[in-house]
Amino acid sequence: MIIRFGYVAMSVEVKNASPSKTMTATQFAKLTDREAAIRKLERIAAENLHNTLRLLRHNKAHDIKLYRFSSKLIPLAGHELLADWDPFPPLLAAFREVGEYVQENSMRVSFHPDHFTVLSTPREEVLANSIADLDRHARMLEAMGLSKAAKCNIHIGGSYGNKDKALTRFISNVKELPVRIRERLMFENDDKTFTAKETLQACQELDMPMVLDIHHHAVNNEGERIEDLWPAIAATWKQTALPPKIHVSSPKSEKDPRGHADYVQADEIARALRTITPHSQELDVMIEAKQKDGALFKLMDDLREYKEAERLNQAAIQWS
DNA sequence: ACCTGTCAAGTCTGG
DNA sequence: CCAGACTTGACAGGT
């Protein structure tokens, strides 16, 4: 069993390296020279890509092969004020540089378009905006020159008072997506609406990969056990030739069990790994914690102690 | 340098 | 039926 760990978007160690700098729509609208304002957006995007590359170098130095890009690399992308703006041509070289670094170092990268991108929606304009957002994410990965191994993770979406109908609508909307977008997608169980079991059913019907979020499952389930679901979840990855991927985070507090804590409890992940590892040779684990890569480094230290104390009880587990 | 309020999006809940 | 909560990082404007 080989496990790779990764983190989301920003580092607490690398200073002044935000990949999500932006400009508000209000500020943009205030600028009288629109061309100059657009050049400024492009400079911010270039800076975000530059910082992304800095983070990837930091990752390489620490042998971190897994990383999720910020979805806010291009400020105001998709905003109605900028409908006529194509940010890609001036950014192609910067995107390509990021993609080449990813490939040279055999990294696995992804996006997670935010929860406003919903394919279960009954509203036409929301669906259109969602598809446009997914198209932009696919275009960024294409601009990086990355294969379809680089994917976008989203949730199924809302239930609108009728989960079955919402799920049917979701599946039919996914089936109608352009192939170049669909082959970049994977779906994750969420913490309020669609459980791991339901998300798995959708993924099986669509023959698309499923990301299991352990924390979401803990707060949104109907008594199903991960060990029972896992073999089928892992099987959704077979056609991709990628290791299955899971998300791990710890509850913020008893009062806010859905929130993400600063760090990840080592026993939490040790328990999950004990459950999952007997069924899989490889696993990629995305750590979702407020302390970002800091939480990742702490977790690796804690797991090392676990292993030394033989509490992990899995001598075959290796990680970098 | 630091603090507080605001901003984006879509869904869901409460009134 | 509409206002507010939810979430998140960063901006904007104040001291």
For the segment A100-113, what is each residue's pLDDT rounded down to a tens digit? 999 999 999 999 99
Work out if A307's Cβ lies within 7 angstroms of strand C: no
- pLDDT tens across A119-141, in order? 999 999 999 999 999 999 999 99
Half-sphere exposure of A10 (CA within 13 A, CB side): 15
Is pLDDT at A314 greater than 90 in this prediction? no
For chain A, what is the mean pLDDT? 92
Higher pLDDT: A101 or A307? It is: A101
For the entire predicted model, the pTM comes to 0.95
* C1' of C1 to CA of A72 (Å): 33
- Which residue did the predictor score with more confidence, A274 or A128? A128
A29-88 residue pLDDT tens? 888 899 999 999 999 999 999 999 999 999 999 999 999 999 999 999 989 889 899 999
**In the complex, which nucleotide's C1' lies nearest to the CA atom of residue A70?**
C9
Q: Beta carbon of A48 within 7 Å of strand C? A: no
Note the strand B nucleotides within 7 A of protein beta carbons. Answer: 7-12
pLDDT-derived band at A315, boundaries 50, 70, 90: very low
CB less than 7 Å from strand B: which protein residues? A 24-26, 79, 114-116, 118, 120-121, 123, 125-126, 129, 157-161, 193
- A2-319: CATH architecture: Alpha-Beta Barrel (3.20)
The pLDDT of A190-209, averaged and rounded, is: 96
